[in-house]
Amino acid sequence: MRDRPDIRLLLADVDGTLVTREKVLTEAAMQASRDLAAAGIALALTSARPPRGMRMLIRPLALQGVLIGFNGGLYVRPDLSVIRRHMIGVETARATVHLLRDQGLDVWLYTEKDWLVRNPHGPHVAREAWILQFDAKVVSDFSDDDLGQALKIVGVSDDLPLVARCETAVRHRLGDRVSAARSEPHFLDVTHPQANKGAVVLALARRLNIAPEQVAAIGDMPTDVMMFSKSGLSIAMGNASEAVKAKADVVTDSNENDGFAHAVRRFVLPAGSTPSRS
């Protein structure tokens, strides 16, 4: 790795990065957050989750920085008050829903406050409710009002090659009207074109009046590669794919082995600092 940059912000993914496979925030991760604060380095969280689905992390991390949900679709403060939002737009949302359904995927729709599904027994609904700690709202179909408030639309299937093909289809058919990426192999996330993690790096750098080179980004999925390309230091988790690792400056341990805390100590905190051992 090149000489350690002057990092002023750590932008962290959540699932597969900050928490374990069972969505546990370890004591080492909480201590790493305290060490960052003591060193004057801000911590912000960015996730495919809605901000409401990250609220359980705020108090344990003593989080003071911004939470960015829907891969950049909704920016909120720690009290969940909204800073900015990027709506998909009703016509684009309608086209997205039709395309995903035509391709054979289940479709979820997220607004600022609600998670809407048509099939409460569909794949991954129960698991997602457990992760987010709130239930989906079941609707017979998505109304024009729902489509107009859409911040993220998700295509869901356990046919992973189908999800990959749908990602290509969405990008081909909708072009720069959307940002489309798989946050998990079984999830295709479709958001506003400015709702991507690369744009998050630039937006937060402007907000904090720092250079993008002073942002460190840590994650594990292809959606995180977008923030790798815009940040001064990119850190891939040990559980990331080889393709994701190849795009990062450095690689830490897995999320099952406190990779987040180890990365903070090894790569982010200023050289010569003495953080607590994790």
Fold of 90-191: 3.30.1240
For the cut 70, the answer to whether the pLDDT of residue 276 exceeds it is no
pLDDT band at 278 (very low <50, low <70, confident <90, very high): very low
Six token digits for residue 194: 């400015």
Residue 233's pLDDT is what? 98
| Mean pLDDT confidence for 21-26 | 96
Six token digits for residue 112: 């600022």
Q: State the CB neighbour count (10 A cutoff) for residue 132.
A: 18
Q: What percent of the chain has pLDDT over 90?
A: 94
Q: Please, where in the chain does CATH 3.30.1240.10 lie?
A: 90-191
Residue 122's pLDDT is what? 95
For the cut 80, the answer to whether the pLDDT of residue 2 exceeds it is no
Strand order, beta sheet including 82-85 = 82-85, 74-76, 67-69, 42-46, 9-12, 215-219, 233-236, 250-251
Cα dihedral sign, 251-252-253-256: negative
Q: Please, where in the chain does CATH 3.40.50.1000 lie?
A: 9-85+196-268
φ and ψ at residue 40, rounded to 5 degrees:
75, 25
pTM here is 0.92
- Spatial separation of the C-alpha atoms in residues 250 and 263, rounded to whole Å: 9
Quick: pLDDT tens for 34-64.
Answer: 999 999 999 999 999 999 999 999 999 999 9
Homologous superfamily of the 9-85+196-268 domain (CATH):
HAD superfamily/HAD-like (3.40.50.1000)
pLDDT band at 274 (very low <50, low <70, confident <90, very high): low
Residue 3's pLDDT is what? 59
Q: How many residues does the chain have?
A: 278
- Picking from 5-9, 41-45, 169-173, which range would have the lowest pLDDT averaged per residue? 5-9
| Mean pLDDT confidence for 130-137 | 97
For the cut 80, the answer to whether the pLDDT of residue 239 exceeds it is yes
Mean pLDDT of the chain: 95
Quick: pLDDT tens for 182-196.
Answer: 999 999 999 999 999
For the cut 50, the answer to whether the pLDDT of residue 220 exceeds it is yes
- Spatial separation of the C-alpha atoms in residues 62 and 39, rounded to whole Å: 14
Residue 271's pLDDT is what? 78
